[in-house]
Structures are given as structure tokens and as C-alpha cells.
Amino acid sequence: MKTILTSLLLTLSLSAMAQQSRTSMTHSSIDDDDKTMSIKVDGTVNGREISYNRRFDVRGMNGSQKDALKQRVFDSLGVGESPKPPKPPVPPAARRGPNGPVGPQDPEPSRRREHTSEHSDDDANKESVTFVCKTCTGNMKLEILGHNFGFTREAKTNKDRENPFPMTVDMAPGKYEYIYWQNSVQQMHLLFEVKAGEKNEVTVK
């Protein structure tokens, strides 16, 4: 049998509780052998006599659960420990959501970056690639795919609309693939490489 833990408490305290003063003088003993816990309290609280003696089945309880049980008994008798100071508020970045911590939210969801003719700071590492096609006509669609890169251009030629080729696209050096459709029929699907410091030109078909 494990060693019996006996805790003797003799307190004379003044504490604020529910905006009223409390005076208590009690003698408490707790016996715990990991199977049963015996709690005995004798004394007075605000002039009221207390004589409490009860045994609890604590098999399977851990230390925190036993402490919570003792605290509930003491609180019910009015001889509990002074209330602990409230915990500081949790900052927004540390709050947890259903799947883990939730950080500060952006005011707007991120949007997929679209291809534009404007230059950015990354343009210094890009090469101008010219796509040419002398026989492309009708309803055309060109899709270019690469690592962290995607570009799609659709056009239709007639007597009032100019042919989009040759077409220039700014791209970082590396390996890519392109797919070309004409009148909703896939006609080409090839790999190509953009080389730094060189003239880069791709013949679509």
C-alpha cells in the first residue's frame, strides 16, 4: 500500500468573497491511499460550526482530478483557498481553432496573381519569351505551365481582330511546357526551356 499522505491545515484567514468578509478557523485532514480519499474538516466559518467527514473512491484519478475534488469540498464548506488571480487574456495569435492555432487574419483573402504587362521587382530575373505562330487562326488558346507559373491566353481572329502572335511573355529561366488549342482541338503539347541572357523564341506550330 502506498504511503498515506496526510495534510493538516490550521487556518485563520480573512478574505473577500462575494463582497463580504469571511472569518474561518478550521482543522482539516486528508488521507489518500490511491484507492480512497478521506476528507475531514472541523471548525467554524463566520461563527458557523462545521463537522465534515466523508470518504471518496479515487481509484483511477490522477493528481489534478484529486486536487479538483478536494477544492470542490472546501469550496462547498466555505473554507476553500483564496481565489486565484484571473489568467491574462490570450492574445489573438494564440487562440486555437478547430484545426489548430489561428493567427491574425488578413482583411481580404489572397487572390491568384494574374499575368499583366506591368513590371515588378521580380522582373529583373525574368526573360522575355516570344511565341510565334504564322499558321494560327480561328479560335485559339495557348496555355503555358511551369514551376509556380501559369499563363493562359485565348483569342479569336477575324477580319476585325488582329492575330495575337507574335506574343511576348516575361518568364523566369527554367523548363516549361505549352499546350495549344485551335477551334477547341488540341494541336500541340511540347516542352521548352527559357535560358538566361539569350534570345528566347518559341514556335507554337
Average pLDDT over residues 89-96: 59
pTM beyond cutoff 0.75:
no
pLDDT value of residue 120: 42
Q: Is the pLDDT of residue 94 over 70?
A: no
Q: What is the DSSP string of 113-159?
A: PPP-S---GGGGG-EEEEEE-SS--SEEEEEEEETTEEEEEEEE-BT
**Averaged pLDDT of the chain:** 74
Say which residue, 203 or 88, is predicted with more confidence: 203
Domain ranges (residues) in the chain: 5-77, 124-203
| % residues pLDDT > 90 (the chain) | 27
Site of grid cell 535560358: 195
Say which residue, 205 or 102, is predicted with more confidence: 205
Domain 124-203 = CATH 2.60.40.1120: yes
